[in-house]
């Protein structure tokens, strides 16, 4: 099995491994591969990241989503600089003391960057381990969790190279032992796979019942003046925390113009409804409705150039809002 050629594998340093593992949390490999080189060029060491302002970090994070990770990475860089002399700590225990680093990421960094025998369990590993053992119970809950982590630990402790073992497990799950139609005929561990022997690989691991997605409505208010758009900083907690966005009113259902004007007194008038699009997050479907408006003169807004929007700390949703608003 050949490992995929990915930017963070070209040159391994603890910091590059650390950043890649944070970026890879809940984000597709192809998206991370696109964003990783520019981020590392700008922040080649924990010290450089620690001394940068948050807005710079968020703007380089644009397109990766889940911006809390960027804030955690920024905070972790400051701790690494202050408490660990600018060097990424080596043990899973120390790594887990950093913001945004859970057991999985700590295991991945400790094993790949430092060769420590630290286990990893993520979605891919769960699938591979369940199939190897033909585990026909739920993979959720304490018992399954304990079994998965102790099995991963046995594997990594018995390996000559913990880094190779962990990466091989991840890679096997991502490219061969995939959820649908696993490629058993080219699988290097086929001979010791209990699910393959039992022909149960299509239903192991057992499917989890999906949690219903919640729908919310974001009414976004946009005024464009001489190529600039009025924005505010979003609240420090919640979705897109601390990022720039046109003023938004959030509700469970679509509201009429009278209600919107009542809720957002800084709007003088709503000129036109410019359309709607859906934005999906892990647990929510967000219906984003875009309105061209005129704000009152006392509205507290920062005016940023539309052409330079991508350079600011804005979400992909805001880029789409700006597109919708700019269309005549």
Pair 249, 260: CB distance under 8 Å: yes
Please give the torsion angle defined by the CA atoms of residues 301, 303, 304 and 305, in that order, rounded to the nearest 10 degrees: 150
Residue 274 binding ligand SF4, by CB under 6 A: no
The residues in 215-234 that bind ligand SF4, with binding defined as CB under 6 A, are: none
Pair 114, 152: CB distance under 8 Å: no
Residue 132 binding ligand SF4, by CB under 6 A: yes
- Assign 45 to helix, strand or coil: coil
Cα-based distances in Å from 21 to 95, 103, 159, 220, 304: 12, 12, 21, 33, 33
Distance CA 60, CA 39 (A): 6
Q: Which of 21, 54, 250, 271 is catalytic?
A: 21
Decide whether 23 or 169 has the Cβ nearer to ligand SF4.
Answer: 169
Distance CA 149, CA 146 (A): 5
* Smallest distance from ligand SF4 to CB 33, Å: 24
* Smallest distance from ligand SF4 to CB 174, Å: 11
Decide whether 189 or 326 has the Cβ nearer to ligand SF4.
Answer: 189
Residue 46 binding ligand SF4, by CB under 6 A: no
For residue 294, what are the β-bridge partners? 269
Residue 131 binding ligand SF4, by CB under 6 A: yes
Site stretch for ligand SF4 (CB under 6 A), options 43-51, 104-112, 128-136, 231-239: 128-136
Decide whether 117 or 187 has the Cβ nearer to ligand SF4.
Answer: 187
Cα–Cα nearest to 54, from 80, 74, 77? 74
Q: What is the DSSP letter of 220?
A: E
> Strands 284-295 and 214-222: what pairing?
parallel
- Assign 63 to helix, strand or coil: coil
The residues in 175-204 that bind ligand SF4, with binding defined as CB under 6 A, are: 176-177, 182-184, 187, 189-190, 193, 195-196, 201
Residue 152 binding ligand SF4, by CB under 6 A: no
- Per the annotation, the verdict on 276 as an active-site residue is no
* Smallest distance from ligand SF4 to CB 270, Å: 55
Residues at the site binding ligand SF4, with contacts judged by CB under 6 A: 128, 131-132, 176-177, 182-184, 187, 189-190, 193, 195-196, 201
Active site residue ranges: 21
């Amino acid at each position: 099995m050949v490992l995929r050629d990915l930017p963070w594998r070209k040159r391994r340093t603890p910091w590059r491994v650390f950043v890649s593992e944070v970026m890879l949390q809940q984000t597709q490999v192809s998206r991370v591969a696109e964003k990783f080189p520019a981020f590392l060029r700008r922040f080649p060491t924990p010290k450089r990241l620690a001394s940068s302002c948050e807005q710079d970090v968020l703007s380089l994070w644009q397109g990766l989503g889940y911006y809390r990770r960027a804030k955690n990475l920024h905070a972790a860089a400051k701790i690494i600089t202050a408490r660990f002399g600018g060097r990424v700590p080596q043990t899973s225990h120390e790594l887990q003391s950093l913001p945004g680093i859970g057991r999985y990421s700590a295991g991945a960094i400790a094993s790949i960057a430092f060769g420590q025998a630290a286990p990893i369990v993520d979605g891919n590993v769960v699938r591979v381990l369940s199939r190897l053992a033909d585990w026909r119970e739920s993979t959720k809950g304490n018992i399954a969790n304990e079994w998965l982590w102790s099995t991963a630990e046995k594997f990594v402790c018995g390996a000559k190279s913990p880094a190779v073992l962990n990466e091989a497990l991840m890679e096997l799950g991502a490219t061969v032992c995939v959820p649908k139609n696993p490629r058993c005929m080219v699988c290097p561990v086929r001979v010791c796979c209990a699910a393959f022997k039992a022909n149960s690989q299509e239903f192991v691991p057992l499917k989890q019942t999906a949690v219903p997605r919640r729908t919310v409505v974001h009414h976004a208010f946009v005024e464009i003046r001489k190529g600039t758009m009025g924005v505010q900083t979003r609240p420090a907690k919640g979705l897109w925390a601390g990022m720039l966005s046109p003023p938004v009113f959030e509700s469970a259902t679509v509201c009429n113009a009278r209600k919107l004007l009542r809720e957002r007194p800084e709007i003088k008038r709503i000129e036109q409804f410019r359309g709607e699009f859906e934005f999906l997050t892990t647990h929510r479907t967000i219906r984003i409705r875009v309105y061209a408006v005129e704000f009152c003169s006392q509205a507290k807004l920062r005016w940023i150039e539309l052409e330079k929007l991508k350079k600011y700390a804005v979400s992909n949703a805001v880029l789409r809002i700006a597109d919708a608003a700019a269309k005549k």
